[in-house]
Amino acid sequence: MREFDVIVIGGGINGLTVAAYLAKAGLSTVVLERRHIVGTHCSTEELSMPGVRYNLHASALVTPMGPCIEDLELENHGLQLIGGDWALLQPFLDGRAFLCHSYDANITYKMIERFSKRDARSFKKFINGVNKYIIPILDYFFVAPSEEEEEKFGRMISKIPEVPSDFVMMDGYDIANYLFEEDKLKTAFVAMGLAVTPRASEKYAGAVGVFSALTSSSGVQTAFTARGGSYNLPNSLANCILANGGLILENCEVTKILIQDGEAKGVELSENSTYPSERIFARKAVISNLTAAPTFLDLVGEEHLDKDAVRTLRQFDYSGQTLFTEIFATKDVIRWNARKNNPDVLDSFWFHYGAESTEDLKKHENDVSNGRVTEPVVGVGGSFVFTRRDATQAPPGMHTITTWINVPYRLQNGGADAWDGYKAEVGESVTDRIDQYANGFRQSVVEAMPYSPLDIFRRNPSAIEANFAGGNPKVGQFYLDRPFKGCGAPRTPIKKLYISNSLWPWSATHLSTGYIAACVVAEDLGVRKQPWWNHKPLGWFRKWVKKQSGHEWSPFITVG
Amino acid sequence: MEPVHHSRLTRMAKYDVVIIGAGPNGLALANYLTKAGAKVMLVEKRFDVGGSLLTEDFAGSRYNLHALYMPLGEKIPPYSDLGLSDYGCQFARPEAQATVHLDGSSLTLYTDNERTQESISKVSVPDSKRFSEMMKAIDSAMAEVIIPWIYSTPLPSEKFRERLSKKKSGKFLQKISKMSPLQVIDHYGLETDALRLALLVLGCTWGLDPAQEDSGIAFMSFLYGMLRASLVKGGSYLLASSLYKQAITGGMQILVGAEVSRIDVERGVAKGVELSDGRKIAAKAVVSTVDVPSTFLKLLEAGYVSKAMMSSAMKWQWDPWSLFQAHWTVSGKPEFRSSEDGVEGSLVHIAGYRGVEDFLRSVSGTYEGKPFPAGLLSLPSLIDPSQAAKGMTVAKFTTISPFRLSNASWDDFKDEFAEQCFGVWSGITKNVTESSIRWRYAYPPTYIEMKLSNAFRGSINGGAITPEQTGYLRPSSDCSSYRTPIKGVYVCGASVHPGGGVTLAGGYNASLVIAKDLGLRVWWKPKYRP
């Protein structure tokens, strides 16, 4: 009989994070992963020519935002993040380009000035006001939701004069209009915000997205890649688990959480797993890293939940965070046309393209909500030229590029199944569109491969609608209501059962949901007080900035 | 050993052992030595461990890009020694091992000799008896002589022959050792073309010319392996992963994405290795699992390489051919044309050859740079459903193939040739067509070499299997017991006894030698004596 203190269901990065913290805290821990390898939405795969390492999923690693690198000493377990000076780029057809800096807000300021001096001053005022509170703001994202925390946060935000007092009634476009006049700048920031909250036109959530984009552009959410590809992150988490005596069992899909007298006792494995239908027991806790609906409706079972929870879960909204992926191997970096006005654009690792105006974005959102792929392509889901930072991700002389576009999961014509027949065409459109911003791109392509939302779902059936972040972070299923009212996440109505996904804030490489789950489980089990479990957000990032630039990191703008 | 910041790993105090290459042998070795108390550093050029134990996810369906068939499955000594069963490694061994499809009907061979005899008797009663006689002899010889030989250091030929003469299977082995694969099956008088075809394909595909004399024992071993083969549940990578996880928990350190450029030797004694980025790792012992020509000619300074080593590296014969592989994900479940009971559960489907003549023609064609669309097809998800996404079936096709084509490049030809191979599969089913395909991946011989730099010219076995490169002579008389003439430098891997194939025997055997040399605790009970 296999028995552990803690069972973690699902070896995605947040599941690995909980397991790493608890194993390091001395609990006997096992991670049960359905696939043959951990990482799920943070992986690196060689899907064609050997040596061309594709990052299909998490590509902008923002792990330095949080405390996990230092708490878990991930660099002792092989983590090698690679950063650079330039952050997000968005070129426009008129040859101008929005470009922000990875850590120097002054340089970002100067980039914005090229569009509008007035808007740059507005940006400066906002950033300098908000960033006084950036540490407590970040802290909020690494603490379990509670009414006290929410109130504290609300009071803090209301004290910031630069934040409009009615911002909870504003959407992303409203915030952009409030700060800027130049439409291209509004476009760039709203586009950045879509990576965080999918609908800029939604009140509150849309505003949160754009706020996030604004602080991000002052270096707070700097994106890194990792040596060899994104898989380096889950690999280092796995190494941490293993080195601390934890066990990882791949090909061990869980089909049931065993519940007795309202308490989670363990799990049962699938008949197709490595240990067919075996039961594994947990003395102290079971943590599910699957998303809300599969966790509660499939693994737990409706009979253990109250009617309201079941209703909410059955209607849990997974829309809005569905990405179509096109991966490229090329002979060259992307030679942006905009380089004529600013050669630094060639150094960018992370880019958007295709949205020329806020109208374009509104139309794009509308398309996505109505089952259509925007034509011409609006690529604001995030795109990356990895080899700009790390040459090891492709053979010498070659480059890998991942581009994401926001799409509906269910296509107007044919539903989700239509993706198999449609994806090649969408891939061609993506190539065409990038070529418009970088003439010669198409010729530099050695191979291109589409990976549709249906492919993503087949690869990870817990990601309903191929949602990449655990579920739409919209009002009604956000903060205390995530994933359902009364859940008390990361705790659940079932004793000893916790969740590390579909939890505040959203699942990403900052590892916040895993961290929050770990903190709460550890508190409940009396193992939270560890000498090493004491780091703050941005700790590692500050050290990196010092090494990279020779200066101390500062999120404030001092020029202009 | 405490984990250390990646930037300091190489500057740490001396390791006991540096192992070059995290393939199956390197991983096995790392485990045995770590448990024996050694401070081990494993250096791997790729970013992924496992070498040929490689599984990749394609939209939820798993493609095993290199090793798929595990000849000895859970019977390998490291499996029990290392408790791999608890680390997530389990095998699935289907009873139906190989089905040869011809003209809408089929003939299946099983793990169980009696069941196979029954199956063959449907087409030829005399052949069923002959086959049974042959397999009995093979089973005895494998158990009595060959498996122990695989899992121990090899003896010089005189001693080996002397020991052999005392074994029950001795005479049998001496007789067939001189034969070619064709001569072996003729020796037993097998007449049925389908049966002869199946045995030749199973035994020769991995690198034996059917007409090559002095390869009877290798043929017999491959045949045995392919009639008792398993899959690793979940994908071949799970075997590597079980080794990796245990080693990390045991304190092994690892560097991935790190290439060794030199083995440092000073005054005839190993000092450690140097990486291509200039970093040095100090160690008392260095084990190279990289192919022998590279080890002897690139990693070591010429002055330290003995005459026998130099000669063996310069004269090293590589495999006669490579393999072309193609993978598909199709929607739904295939239905075979053949009405043979249980055919869909067979591990291997041999299709595309109309008879032995076709196979022989494909071999000569391969020498001329012309691949032939016929070979072995496996459907892992029909045996192990975890390997395909819901509602899908995953397939892998393998065929002997020239590394270089006579009149095209693989880049230009691979997809077309994969289509031809797909047509072979389609042809033996009722329902598999182009429109069934949801994903396809052609993997030519050039990809084998690009992926595993050890696999020169797409080598499967780390070198040809010939008398001059077998046993005591593999790779050379002074290195086949894993020590080299250089103190502290060892070799292990496919180019060293006992050769290729997933047996973990190289790592297993080398562990004993190295543990003794370094005065480490031999915590396991070596299963066989040389």
Summarised one tens digit per residue, pLDDT across range A438-456 is 999 999 999 999 999 999 9
d(CA A68, CA A553): 19
Is pLDDT larger for residue A194 or for residue A269? A269
Contact B47 A392 (CB under 8 A): yes
Judge if B242 and B176 occupy the same domain: no
In CATH, what number is assigned to the domain containing residue B274?
Answer: 3.50.50.60
Q: How far is A287 from chain B (nearest CA, A)?
A: 20
Model confidence band, residue A220 (pLDDT cutoffs 50, 70, 90):
confident
Model ipTM?
0.97
Model confidence band, residue A392 (pLDDT cutoffs 50, 70, 90):
very high
Which pLDDT tens digit goes with each residue over B366-388?
999 999 999 999 999 999 999 99
pLDDT at B1 over 90: no
Is pLDDT larger for residue A1 or for residue A174? A174
Contact B292, B495 (CB under 8 A): yes
Contact B299, B288 (CB under 8 A): yes
Judge if B451 and B324 occupy the same domain: yes
Which pLDDT tens digit goes with each residue over A519-538?
999 999 999 999 999 999 99
d(CA B414, CA B446): 10
Terminal Cα-to-Cα distance of chain B (whole angstroms): 33
Where is the domain boundary, B458, B476, B497? B458
What pLDDT score does A201 carry? 94
d(CA B366, CA B359): 10
Select the residue of A53, A245, A459 nearest B57 (Cβ to Cβ).
A459
pLDDT at A198 over 90: no
What pLDDT score does A96 carry? 97
What pLDDT score does B504 carry? 98
CA quadruple A126, A132, A136, A139: dihedral, nearest 10 = 70
d(CA A441, CA A438): 6
Tokens 């409940």 appear where? Answer: A524
Judge if B366 and B424 occupy the same domain: yes
Contact B88 A252 (CB under 8 A): yes
Of A187-201, A381-395, A420-434, the least confident? A187-201
d(CA A366, CA A351): 22
Tokens 């798993």 appear where? Answer: B62
Judge if B408 and B449 occupy the same domain: yes
What pLDDT score does A407 carry? 97
Judge if B441 and B482 occupy the same domain: no
Q: What would the mean pLDDT of A118-124 be, rounded to a whole number?
A: 97
Is B478 part of a structural domain of the chain? yes
Where is the domain boundary, B414, B430, B458? B458
Helices (H), B210-332: 216-226, 237-249, 292-294, 307-314
Tokens of B167: 């074994």
Strand partners, A491: A498
Is B81 part of a structural domain of the chain? no
Tokens of B307: 């005459």
**Would strands A497-499 and B105-110 be described as parallel, antiparallel, or unpaired?**
unpaired
Q: Which among B1, B7, B57 is the top mutation candidate for probing chain A, defined by the most A β-carbons within 10 Å of its own β-carbon?
A: B57
Is B530 part of a structural domain of the chain? no
Tokens of B21: 């290459």
Contact A458 B57 (CB under 8 A): no
Contact A51 B384 (CB under 8 A): no
Q: Which of A34, A56, A47 is nearest to A453 (CA)?
A: A56
A:B CB pairs within 8 Å: 120
Tokens of B349: 């489907």
Judge if B360 and B259 occupy the same domain: no
Nearest residue in A to B236, CA atom: A36
| Residues 171-200 in A contacting B (C-alpha not used; CB under 8 Å) | none
Beta strands in A237-358, from DSSP E residues, in sequence order = 247-249, 254-260, 263-269, 279-288, 323-330, 350-353
Contact A451 B447 (CB under 8 A): no
Is B118 part of a structural domain of the chain? no
Could you give the angle at the alpha carbon of A80 between the alpha carbons of A77 and A85, nearest 5°?
A: 155
Contact A250 B88 (CB under 8 A): yes
Mean pLDDT for all residues in chain B:
96
Judge if B446 and B324 occupy the same domain: yes
Which pLDDT tens digit goes with each residue over B252-304?
999 999 999 999 999 999 999 999 999 999 999 999 999 999 999 999 999 99
Strand partners, A448: A328
Query: What is the maximum alpha-carbon separation in chain B?
Result: 69
Judge if B135 and B10 occupy the same domain: no
Q: What percent of chain A has pLDDT over 90?
A: 95
Model confidence band, residue A474 (pLDDT cutoffs 50, 70, 90):
confident
d(CA A345, CA B390): 43
Please tell me if residue A75 touches chain B, with a CB cutoff of 8 Å.
yes
Judge if B330 and B286 occupy the same domain: no
Q: How far is A455 from chain B (nearest CA, A)?
A: 5
Judge if B330 and B443 occupy the same domain: yes
Could you give the angle at the alpha carbon of B316 between the alpha carbons of B311 and B317, nearest 5°?
A: 145
d(CA B346, CA B357): 24
Contact B233 A48 (CB under 8 A): no
Structural domain span for residue B406:
90-111+320-458
Q: How many CB atoms lie within 10 A of CB A481?
A: 17
Strand partners, B378: B396
Nearest residue in B to A51, CA atom: B451
pLDDT at A168 over 90: no
CA distances from A134 to A22, A519, A558, B132, B478 (A): 28, 22, 17, 78, 66
Which pLDDT tens digit goes with each residue over A348-388?
999 999 999 999 999 999 999 999 999 999 999 999 999 99
Residues of B with CB under 8 A from a CB of A: 2-7, 47, 55-62, 87-90, 233-235, 237-238, 241, 245, 248-249, 251, 254, 256-257, 384-386, 389-390, 392, 438, 441, 447, 450-451
CB neighbour list of residue B408: distance below 8 Å, 6 or more residues apart: none
Residue A236: helix, strand or coil by DSSP? Answer: helix
d(CA A410, CA B179): 63
CA distances from B404 to B320, B368, B449 (A): 12, 9, 12
Judge if B204 and B137 occupy the same domain: yes
What pLDDT score does A519 carry? 98
d(CA A79, CA B310): 40
Contact B90 A45 (CB under 8 A): no
- Cβ contacts (< 8 Å) between B437 and chain A: which residues? none
Q: Which of A210-214, A215-219, A504-508, B95-99 has the highest mean pLDDT?
A: B95-99
- Cβ contacts (< 8 Å) between B441 and chain A: which residues? 47-48
Question: pTM for this one?
Answer: 0.98
What pLDDT score does B13 carry? 77
Is B337 part of a structural domain of the chain? yes
What pLDDT score does A217 carry? 87
d(CA A143, CA A517): 9
Contact A242 B248 (CB under 8 A): yes
What is the three-state SS of A333-372?
Answer: CCCCHHHHCCHHHHHCCEEEECCCCHHHHHHHHHHHHCCC
Q: What percent of chain B has pLDDT over 90?
A: 96
The string of DSSP letters for A473-536 reads --TTSSGGGSSSTT--TTB-SSBTEEESSS-SS--STT-HHHHHHHHHHHHHTT----TT----
Is B256 part of a structural domain of the chain? yes
Select the residue of B47, B233, B441 nearest A228 (Cβ to Cβ).
B47
Q: How far is A374 from chain B (nearest CA, A)?
A: 24
Model confidence band, residue B9 (pLDDT cutoffs 50, 70, 90):
confident
Select the residue of A76, A228, A232 nearest B4 (Cβ to Cβ).
A76
Tokens 């699942």 appear where? Answer: A507
Contact A195, A352 (CB under 8 A): no
pLDDT at B31 over 80: yes
Q: Which of B118, B142, B146 is nearest to B131 (CA)?
A: B118
CA distances from B147 to A71, B180, B476 (A): 49, 21, 21
Q: What percent of chain B has pLDDT over 70?
A: 100
**Would strands B322-331 and B269-275 be described as parallel, antiparallel, or unpaired?**
unpaired
pLDDT at A196 over 90: no
Is B76 part of a structural domain of the chain? no
Is B59 part of a structural domain of the chain? yes
- Cβ contacts (< 8 Å) between A420 and chain B: which residues? 438
What pLDDT score does B97 carry? 98
Nearest residue in A to B84, CA atom: A249
The single-letter code of the amino acid at A407 is V
Contact B197, B359 (CB under 8 A): yes
d(CA B228, CA B217): 17
Work out how many domains chain B is built from and give that number.
Answer: 3
Select the residue of B248, B254, B450 nearest A50 (Cβ to Cβ).
B450
Where is the domain boundary, B199, B227, B255? B227
d(CA A202, CA B165): 85
Q: Which of B194, B195, B181, B175 is nearest to B130 (CA)?
A: B195
Please tell me if residue A277 touches chain B, with a CB cutoff of 8 Å.
no
Q: Which among A33, A251, A456, A544 is the top mutation candidate for probing chain B, defined by the most B β-carbons within 10 Å of its own β-carbon?
A: A251
d(CA A89, CA A354): 12
Model confidence band, residue A1 (pLDDT cutoffs 50, 70, 90):
low
d(CA A415, CA A408): 9
Judge if B427 and B343 occupy the same domain: yes
